Amino acid sequence: MKQKILLVYTGGTIGMVKDKIKNTLVPFNFDGLLKAIPELKSDELDLENVSIKSPIDSSNMHPNIWVEIVEIIETNYANYDGFVILHGTDTMAYTASAFSFMLENLNKAIIFTGSQIPIGARRSDAKENLITAVEIAASGKVNEVCIYFEDQLYKANRTVKVNTEHFEAFESPNYPILAEAGVTIKYKSVLQKKQNQGLIVHKNCSDDVAILKLFPGIKLAIIRSILNSAKGIIIESFGAGNASTNTEFTLLLSQKIQEGKIIMNISQCLHGKAVRGQYETNEPFEKAGVICGKDMTTESAITKLMFLLGLGLTDDEIKAQLQTNLRGEITN
């Protein structure tokens, strides 16, 4: 029986080919996909494609476009065995992380991939990334949102972009890779399917969020301004979740939390996590009641907060859910 896979094109470098007449890069015509990549032709595979209304550079990605893509998956969920989403690399980790929360009870593979060099260029990494992403989506061994890039399959909400110049563009700093592609694809972790649970699609992501990155000498006025700017704030603190012990800073955090702000602390470091009580400099967050985000990536933390704020929960429910491992985004 053929496996049906739907390619969803959102834009990005992977979708560019060279116009032989103008000698410029132009958006890829998916009608010619199998001509460009004959390896995708297979007796075991039925590959179809669809595009969002206006493909974009991923730097222009927005929650409204997340909803457009999610609705494509929702509409076609019963008709396909897996999905491959072609997406620009710059915000891929944000979109993939968001999808891990927006798609509850997911029982099929949703594989994000892209490329550092356009598919029409001679040294492009697009061809291998796309072929392998399709094979993984059709394997039946993956039942979650992932990113596939340069031989590695990553858990979506554990992934960050770390490089603009090499093919190894992504990393999963605090979680092992799910599979590695060599002569064969070696699956290191297989998520069990959820029995008798239908897909639940969440489409309301709040944009009432902000990120505050601490640095030595940051003015209290700047901190106050950012805390005032949104309902939910992610603080990127130093090392293992540390910050200045300045009393005014601690009092400001306490005041804003009392006013109803939801504030979570994560580490600026790629590897490791924010912890409670290890250093004296953890105390500002402890005393103020700031939530500890442990080893969540910035991309996962901010999209989880957007997702939870969009659910219409109470503040206490949001705070509890932020500290709960919903989709494997936190190491227990």
Q: Catalytic amino acids?
A: 13
The strands making up 209-213's β-sheet, listed across from edge to edge, are 209-213, 232-237, 262-267, 291-292
Q: Which of 137, 95, 129, 167 is nearest to 14 (CA)?
A: 129
Signed CA dihedral, 105, 159, 274, 288: sign only? negative
Q: Which of 98, 103, 118 is nearest to 57 (CA)?
A: 118
